[in-house]
Chains A and B, each alone.
Chain A
Amino acid sequence: MERREFLTKSAVAGAVLCSPSFLSATAAQTITENSAVYAIGLQCDLSHYTGKECAVWIPIPSDITGFQRILEFGTRTDAERAFETDANRYEARTFYAHWDKKSLPKTLEIAMKVMLKDRQCDWRRKRISPDAVNKAALFLAPTAHLPTDGAIANVAKKIVGNEKKPLAKAKRIYDWVVANSYRDESVHGCGVGSPNAMLAELEKNGHMGGKCLDMSALCVALMRASGIPAREVLGIRVGPSRFSAAFGSGETITKAQHCKVEFFIATMGWIPCDPADITKLVLKEGIDRTSPRARELSEKFFGFWENNWLALNHARDFDLYPANAQGMLDSFGYPYGEVDGEYLDPFDPAAYRYTISSKKGVE
């Protein structure tokens, strides 16, 4: 059965299905070297919002050729309206569910099996289609949270200097973000993702603290200001890392969201990098950012992402579909929810009542 059709049928019927029978399988996959399979589940229980209208927009992953494959996917819900959509500016795949005031018990389960592979850039020149180049150019434009002028433009110019080669410019910017930022554990979730706020802190205090969205957004804004298409990639850690506990997760991944960066080189395509994880490594392992280990992993994570991280989308400053009451969403790494039009705090999953789990190596 085709995935979308299955989802529509199960959602409209509100069918009571027994796990894992509500999973819909796609073609069989062979597990190869540097690949891993994970069973991922999301449970959302809004039964405590009696007499209130509730809606959730859940970010869900898509296939990404070469390193991310959704093997099985299914949902179970008692929502009046529930469907999958990517009808938004960034085609961010979304599962939407809506419950009327009288609905009970207001629950949603999403289950999926995914295969992830290490993503390693080989740095060789390749032929990139003109269509891909044109699409990438969209990621040069500023958005509400990603300015490319003013302080961002000035700092980008200083970092890049006379360098003309796009790849070398991107590396300079990545190294600069790693060298000048630190992980601030007091920041909620993945951070606000405001490059201007980061630069203001740097000017005031000589350093800038934040979390993954903050550092990724700064890196993206500086790259865009330097003429390099770039975007944040929101995702979630789904298992242990081979490189450091700082980069991994356990089996409860409700708070394991993480943001990385991709930039585009016209002769290579999209290339991943992760400045924020190096600052996390420095903090968690108590090492100096100039230590051999930090430098080695900093080099490694320019052009690489590990197979324990599931990419969700690269949406920023966009309108959800169907429209929400609160308006433009700044990023979409967490389940977004509204109760009677009011925002549900995704950084407090216990009060919101959602959990996300992951199990590695499930056949």
Chain B
Amino acid sequence: MGRIAALLVVCTTLLCATEWTLRIGGMHCIACTLAVKKALLGVPGVQKAKVNFKNESATVSADESVTLRMMQDAVAQTGYTAKAILP
């Protein structure tokens, strides 16, 4: 029973996850991706973040409660910028 409940929680979280693609500005080397990723994962509700230096972008999986502003603020605190890329 407990396992089913846990599975339901996981499924619900995944189904409610929002995918964001962000344009990251200010990265000058590959190591900058680590700082941006850390900042994004520090936002409550962000589940996954993958940052790419070459494309100057980040793909983020987050709860519906997470807003663009929350991610932008977190990234700005590390000295970079984030803008949403519209699909």
Contact = CB atoms under 8 A, between A and B. Distances in A.
Interface of A: 144-145, 188, 192, 194, 325-330, 340-343, 345, 347
A341 B29 contact: no
A330 B32 CA distance: 11
B52 A145 contact: no
Given A343-B34, A345-B34, A192 B29 contact: yes
A144 B34 CA distance: 20
Contacts of B28: 144-145, 192, 194, 330
A325 B29 contact: no
Interface residues of B, number: 13
B30 A343 contact: yes
Nearest to B34: A345
B3 interface: no
B34 A325 contact: no
A326 B34 contact: no
Contacts of A194: 28
Contacts of B50: 340-342
Contacts of A326: 30, 33, 52-54
Interface in B46-66: 50-55
Nearest to A338: B30
Given A194-B28, A343-B31, 13 more contacts: A192-B28, A192-B29, A326-B30, A326-B52, A326-B54, A327-B30, A327-B52, A330-B28, A330-B29, A340-B50, A342-B33, A343-B30, A343-B34
